[in-house]
Amino acid sequence: MVELTLDLLVDIAGEYRDGSTSAEKFRSILEDEQTTSEEVEQFLNEALNGSESYHNRALQDIVNNIGQRLGFTVEYGPYQGTTDTIGNDGLWSSNASEGDEDVHLVVETKKSTAYTIDPGQAGGYMDELVAEQNLDSSSVYGLYVIGDDDVDTVVSTIRGSEYRDHIRTIPASHLLTLLAIQEESGLQHEQILKLLLPLDTINVGSLVELVQDVIEFREPVQTGTNGPEQGVGGWTPEVDANAVVGQLSRSNLEGLDDAKVAIFPSREDGIPFLKENNAWGFVRVNQDPEYVGMYITGDVGAVTYVARVKEIVPATEATLARSLESYIGDQANFDRDKRVVVFEPDSLFELSDPIPLATRVPYGLRYTDLGSFRTAETTDDIL
């Protein structure tokens, strides 16, 4: 199969510009739930290493897609500004807690720092956004995403500007690292927001809390039983078996509101693994969830299954319906360095009230609490 590259896409679909077929096609590829972060990284490297104008424009789209994967609602900006639009490369919005203002990030993408970067550009876009949408200026921030890792000059320039308290910068590679941390550890969107936005420099305790959050999310869970006591009966993994007990409403899930729920994404062809093994793999899990919710991608587009966790074991020690080798490239993709989450017997249910997709897609592991899981109207309420 021919590997899709930006060069090939432009050769096939034509010029990469605002409203073009090639740009729309590339965005749809990036937004596809089955496009992995590793594939996004490949596109990012190609865009950074390329010298054509479409490499710069694709970089803008890739950065915006990473924002989507981090849980923001993203509006793509134009490649070439016009007099009747704000010219920012992207606008990332984050739904606030009840009673708070929504947070907005005006995003500017620069391939390198070879040319002087003026914070007044993003600052001007921020001012325009505040005036146009009648926003509280304290809820609007700027973010420069730089293609190379040399951001010292940009940092110094921002410090000397009038927007120093509301503009930050990050190398594109570090933004991708943040995405990898989120996908492997399940960092919640609120933690991501704290990492990207200016911290409270008076209350340094906020920095300590943030470091503690990150450490806790990255600590590996111990092997063995970590969930509730094993239920009555047992389960023997078997080819073509079906561990799904029946349907269940989320309101009937037992447990405290603050019980941890791990949300895993799966393609539809991963459902047989779920049913045959009464388990899910192969994943990195750094927390101790009591429940698992399964988001099924594609046409389903919803959290459709739920199960109670019995234990989490290394992939090489899991008892499965098929040989480990058979899972390479089929159903859940075997990785000996990952783990298998084993469910309590008779606890895997198909939800009678699945949680439909809204704007936030769980491209990787996410965590929520059982109270939010019970009452969620869409995926936006749990991601």
pLDDT tens-digit series, residues 291-341? 999 999 988 999 999 999 999 999 888 999 988 777 766 567 777 788 999
List pLDDT tens digits, range 79-90.
987 777 788 999
Which CATH code for domain 6-214? 3.40.91.30
H-run or E-run covering 23: helix 21-31
User: Which letter, b or e, does each residue of 26-61 get, where b requires 16 or more Cβ atoms within 10 Å of its Cβ?
Assistant: bbebbeebebebeebbebbebbbebeeebbbbbbbb
87's tokens = 């010219």
Selected residue with higher pLDDT from 330 and 188: 188
The span from the CA of 242 to the CA of 246, in Å, is 10
Amino acid at 5: T
- Is a pLDDT exceeding 60 seen at residue 281? yes
99's tokens = 């009673």
pLDDT at 60: 97
pLDDT at 199: 64
Helical pair 53-69 and 6-13, crossing angle rounded to 10 deg: 110
The span from the CA of 149 to the CA of 172, in Å, is 8
Give the angle subtended at the CA of 88 by the CAs of 82 and 90, to the nearest 5°: 125
Phi, psi of 380 (to 5 degrees): -60, -25
- Is a pLDDT exceeding 80 seen at residue 209? no
Max Cα distance, the chain (Å): 68
Phi, psi of 227 (to 5 degrees): -100, -160
Q: Is the peptide bond before 264 cis (omega within 30 degrees of 0)?
A: no
Phi, psi of 368 (to 5 degrees): -145, 180
The span from the CA of 223 to the CA of 225, in Å, is 7
The span from the CA of 132 to the CA of 104, in Å, is 13
Cβ partners under 8 Å of residue 252, min gap 6: none
The span from the CA of 157 to the CA of 166, in Å, is 13
H-run or E-run covering 132: helix 119-133
Selected residue with higher pLDDT from 190 and 79: 79
CB 252 within 8 A of CB 259: no
The span from the CA of 323 to the CA of 139, in Å, is 52
CB 295 within 8 A of CB 362: yes
Kindly report the pTM of this predicted structure. 0.77
pLDDT at 1: 43
CB 110 within 8 A of CB 145: yes
- Is a pLDDT exceeding 50 seen at residue 226? no
The span from the CA of 295 to the CA of 265, in Å, is 5
- Is a pLDDT exceeding 60 seen at residue 116? yes
Q: For the chain, give every domain's residue range.
A: 6-214, 224-381
The span from the CA of 294 to the CA of 346, in Å, is 16
CB 20 within 8 A of CB 69: no
List pLDDT tens digits, range 74-114.
999 999 877 777 889 999 998 765 556 789 999 999 998 87
Q: Mean pLDDT, to the nearest integer, of 257-276?
A: 93
pLDDT at 225: 43
